[in-house]
Structure 1
Amino acid sequence: MAMEKGEKVAEKKSLKSSYHYLMTHLFTFCFVPLMAVIVIKASRLSPDEILQLWLQLQSHKVSVMVCVTLLVFGSTVYFLTRPRPVYLVDFACYRPPSHLKVQFDRFMKHSTLMGHFNESSLGFQRKILERSGLGEETYVPEAMQYIPPRPSMEAAREEAEQVMFGALDILFKNTNLNPNHIGVLVVNCSLFNPTPSLAAMIVNKYKLRGNIKSYNLGGMGCSAGVIAIDLAKDMLQVHRNTYAVVVSTENITQNWYFGNDKSMLIPNCLFRMGGAAVLLSNKGGDRRRAKYKLLHTVRTHRGADDTAFHCVYQKQDGVGKTGVSLSKDLMAIAGGALKANITTLGPLVLPISEQLLFFFTLVAKKLFNAKVKPYIPDFKLAFNHFCIHAGGRGVIDELERNLQLLPLHVEASRMTLHRFGNTSSSSIWYELAYTEAKGRMKKGNRVWQIAFGSGFKCNSSVWEAMKHVKPSPNSPWEDCIDKYPVQILA
């Protein structure tokens, strides 16, 4: 019985593989025979027949000229209006110093000594830590290492400078880029928005030029990294021959919750220190040295729905202490946002074979009321690597199940969560760095970065590797890529 079931599964997979191969090469199967017929037919024309064809074209000279003119005009318009390619030259992720590591026991000892949390809250935090997927080497800012903690505006600025400047220093060193050549700067940090802005802090530190186009994105959650890439991409369509730098981070120092509302304690256990800097270019000369080419960005916003809007919400608890509350409906809302996002992304990236299967299943269900399960497209046919926002173990588990991914596809996300925790919008870059460090990024490979954020949003970016990518110097995974056994992924 088991053998029969196995044979049926194998037969089903074989039929599906044959179907995908046929649909993928359908154009070739049709085009090659057609061209062969045309060539054979043309080879049989006599000199008189060829001359007669030429005379017929001469008699329709006006029509031919009009067609040629329209063709030249259309080609000119196309080349002038087509989107400029956007290249990712390199990126850098910040790895904090080792003295900022916080083990579970130390975390719980500090939480106890603070005196802010009751026994129920302390037990809840330990339970979250044990189930979170985080390891013992994630990082917490300096100000939160003291008893009692010392959160302040000055300490928050110091954390921001440490992370942003640390990532940028590595980026500038690896790319030999003169900071004065940067034309566009986009910085995103959801919860810490000082005046002057974080973008202004970078301009001041590196003495960037006076006509730089700088933007500071706040309050947009963990998916703001993709939003920042999308904004930089649009700016590079307008401003020719320039560089854009995107800095993605989150600030922990002033956003620790010191109350006993359990929905607001979860961020304390998951969010950790980190940040990334990305160098983008629209210069044709950077094509050879670039790591990736940006193919698509897709943004989905569910903020019109009240439940989605409030599922990740910064507020004060009953005694006036500020924190970020996570709703119990978060995973269901994230699933709906994901569905909306891939509905837009699918036609852009999926092979025609998958699109047809999805379309026919939808028609059968909607028009004929057929009792068929909704077809989930196989995104493994479109992407080689997946960078799923390391928001928590539950987020990664849910996407692995919904997208029918293999453990290998979510390895980068699980390892990033284990080693660095939830670094918010920068987590997708730690994951890409992990894939590079493992030597898995080959020329032509496609990468899907997908992240969720407050609002509620689900955003995607798609990249294509321009070459066999090697890890950059000072990678966050340097010296530790093989340190952790695969068993921790279970």
Structure 2
Amino acid sequence: MSRPRPIYLIDFATYKPADELKVSKAEFIELARKSGKFDEESLAFQARLLAKSGIGDESYMPRCVFQPDANCATMKEGRAEASAAMFAALDELFDKCRVRPKDVGVLVVNCSLFNPTPSLSAMIVNHYKMRGNILSYNLGGMGCSAGVISIDLARDMLQASGAGLAVVVSTEAVSFTWYAGKRRSMLIPNAFQEEDEQRIKGLSISRDLVEVGGHALKTNITTLGPLVLPFSEQLLFFAGVLFRHLYPSKTSTPPPPAANGDTSAAAPYIPDFKRAFEHFCMHAASRDVLEHLQRNLGLRDADLEASRAALHRFGNTSSSSIWYELAYLEAKGRVRRGDRVWQLAFGSGFKCNSAVWRAVRRVRRPSRSPWLDCVDQYPARMDA
């Protein structure tokens, strides 16, 4: 068999909303109160969540979700929100790459919560008048890891079709599934969708998520490790597993914790991924999630700086968060030729997916970036 053709990331663009959509944590609670959609107990719970979330005071929200007596979960509002983000990012991308939309042979769009008919991918094809034989795909309901899955699909289609250029659009629309009920597990946004006792549609997060996520992470890094780690780290990993299997009673000190927090004698050795990557883009789900990742993977504060900055400045942007993090690293001028980047994301199902990139040329500081007006204030700004 012939070797697969190499696939390259030419460039990417991230959407920065208008300033009038900025909402501080205090303003969020006040707008929610004025909307009349929440009782005081629900408001107090949301305030406590925000205080511990790691989100700063300059994130964004669609204003329609706070309009009194208004139903924001409409196709019109969902399309308007998705269009604003997708078309702004694509306009910038096509301009930066000097590519015409008609030159694109593969289009992959992922959005978990808003999946209209015609699809988001069809909206893009029609808006930019792309060619009629474009290979167009729309992924929905796959959670925050769908961006990595979309990259994998685009790569496979380029390999199979020889289409030349592919565009991947990772986005999310929150207004269409905005929850205005009282159940606490559904007041935590961007988890799993269902209906509460009053048949109000929303997103629910389970107490089993941390354990399930830990197992998914362990499976992911066990698969990824042999592909990226130096041979010495691979030997330590497999030797540790073999030793604990053959001589569990001779383990004199507790082994490093597994990705799911297991500290038993059979827990696998977690390799030092700092020897495989210079940069880490971990999905910015919440402060607690990032702290668990840092502790269980043995990473430094500097390794999670981009993730924490993206969470603080833009909030949990779902599948696009790993791109806001890469944009942060580029805006800081940290990505050099030969550097390796690990993008790790989690999604519903439960899924855990990784993408690995190597910079094949010098990456200059971008002239356009959502970070240009604030990057010099980080990481100190996160402690303010």
TM-score tier (shorter): over 0.9
Q: Which amino acid aligns with 2:220?
A: N
Give the Cα–Cα distance (whole angstroms) in 2 for the partners of residues 84 and 98 of structure 1: 43
Q: Which residue of 2 aligns with 1:289?
A: none
Give the Cα–Cα distance (whole angstroms) in 1 for the partners of residues 383 and 205 of structure 2: 25
Correspondence 1:332 to 2:211: yes
Deviation sequence 1:459-483 (CA, Å, 0-9, x none): 0000001122123332111221113
Within a 5 Å distance, the mapping from 1:106-185 to structure 2 comes to 106-151=27-72, 152-185=74-107
Aligned 8 A contact 1:444 1:467 in 2: yes
Aligned 8 A contact 2:194 2:204 in 1: yes
Which one of the candidate residues 165, 178, 195 is aligned to 1:243? 165
Q: Which amino acid aligns with 1:260?
A: K
Q: Which amino acid aligns with 2:235?
A: L
Q: Which residue of 2 aligns with 1:262?
A: 184
Give aligned pairs, total. Answer: 368
Shift of 1:487: 5.7
Give the Cα–Cα distance (whole angstroms) in 2 for the partners of residues 197 and 207 of structure 1: 15
Q: Taking structure 1 as reference, are residues 215 and 489 closer, same or farther at Cα in structure 2, changes over 3 Å only?
A: farther
Aligned 8 A contact 1:133 1:417 in 2: yes
Deviation sequence 1:105-138 (CA, Å, 0-9, x none): 2111111122222222111100001110001111
Aligned 8 A contact 2:121 2:138 in 1: yes
Q: Which amino acid aligns with 2:30?
A: K
Which one of the candidate residues 214, 217, 228 is aligned to 1:349? 228
Q: Which residue of 2 aligns with 1:433?
A: 327
Give the Cα–Cα distance (whole angstroms) in 1 for the partners of residues 124 and 172 of structure 2: 15
Q: Taking structure 1 as reference, are residues 93 and 487 closer, same or farther at Cα in structure 2, changes over 3 Å only?
A: closer
Unmatched segments (≥5 aa) in structure 2: 256-267
Q: Which has the larger radius of gyration?
A: 1
Give the Cα–Cα distance (whole angstroms) in 1 for the partners of residues 79 and 208 of structure 2: 34
Correspondence 1:458 to 2:352: yes
Correspondence 1:253 to 2:175: yes
Structure with greater helix share of residues? 1
Q: Which residue of 1 aligns with 2:145?
A: 223
Within a 5 Å distance, the mapping from 1:251-400 to structure 2 comes to 251-267=173-189, 312-372=191-251, 373=255, 374-400=268-294
Aligned 8 A contact 2:279 2:303 in 1: yes
Shift of 1:333: 1.4
Within a 5 Å distance, the mapping from 1:468-487 to structure 2 comes to 468-486=362-380
SS at match of 1:260: coil
Give the Cα–Cα distance (whole angstroms) in 1 for the partners of residues 17 and 133 of structure 2: 32
Aligned 8 A contact 2:284 2:311 in 1: yes
Aligned 8 A contact 1:174 1:472 in 2: no
Aligned 8 A contact 1:314 1:323 in 2: yes
SS at match of 1:460: strand
| Percent identical | 58
Deviation sequence 1:85-107 (CA, Å, 0-9, x none): 01000000000000000111211
SS at match of 2:313: helix
SS at match of 2:203: strand
Shift of 1:371: 4.0
Q: Taking structure 1 as reference, are residues 381 and 484 closer, same or farther at Cα in structure 2, changes over 3 Å only?
A: closer
Aligned 8 A contact 1:415 1:489 in 2: no
Give the Cα–Cα distance (whole angstroms) in 2 for the partners of residues 219 and 360 of structure 1: 39
SS at match of 2:109: strand
Q: What do you get for the CA RMSD once the two structures are aligned?
A: 1.4
Q: Which residue of 2 aligns with 1:210?
A: 132
Aligned 8 A contact 1:414 1:489 in 2: no
Q: Taking structure 1 as reference, are residues 354 and 485 closer, same or farther at Cα in structure 2, changes over 3 Å only?
A: closer
Within a 5 Å distance, the mapping from 1:56-75 to structure 2 comes to none
Aligned 8 A contact 2:56 2:382 in 1: no
Q: Which residue of 1 aligns with 2:15?
A: 94
Deviation sequence 1:177-229 (CA, Å, 0-9, x none): 01100000000000101110000000000000000000000000010000000
Which one of the candidate residues 93, 109, 114 is aligned to 1:187? 109
Aligned 8 A contact 1:188 1:249 in 2: yes
Aligned 8 A contact 2:105 2:163 in 1: no
Aligned 8 A contact 2:106 2:134 in 1: yes
Give the Cα–Cα distance (whole angstroms) in 2 for the partners of residues 480 and 454 of structure 1: 32
Give the Cα–Cα distance (whole angstroms) in 1 for the partners of residues 327 and 63 of structure 2: 25
Deviation sequence 1:284-314 (CA, Å, 0-9, x none): xxxxxxxxxxxxxxxxxxxxxxxxxxxx531
Aligned 8 A contact 1:387 1:412 in 2: yes
Correspondence 1:411 to 2:305: yes
Q: Which amino acid aligns with 1:102?
A: V
Q: Taking structure 1 as reference, are residues 468 and 110 closer, same or farther at Cα in structure 2, changes over 3 Å only?
A: same
Give the Cα–Cα distance (whole angstroms) in 1 for the partners of residues 57 and 21 of structure 2: 11
Shift of 1:368: 2.6
SS at match of 2:248: coil
Give the Cα–Cα distance (whole angstroms) in 1 for the partners of residues 226 and 288 of structure 2: 28
Which consecutive aligned stretches of 4+ in structure 1 deviate over 6 angstroms post-superposition?
none
Q: Please, what TM-score do these two structures have when normalized by structure 2?
A: 0.93
Q: Taking structure 1 as reference, are residues 154 and 465 closer, same or farther at Cα in structure 2, changes over 3 Å only?
A: same
Q: Taking structure 1 as reference, are residues 325 and 241 closer, same or farther at Cα in structure 2, changes over 3 Å only?
A: closer
Deviation sequence 1:137-189 (CA, Å, 0-9, x none): 11111422533445121111111110000100000111110110000000000
Correspondence 1:420 to 2:314: yes
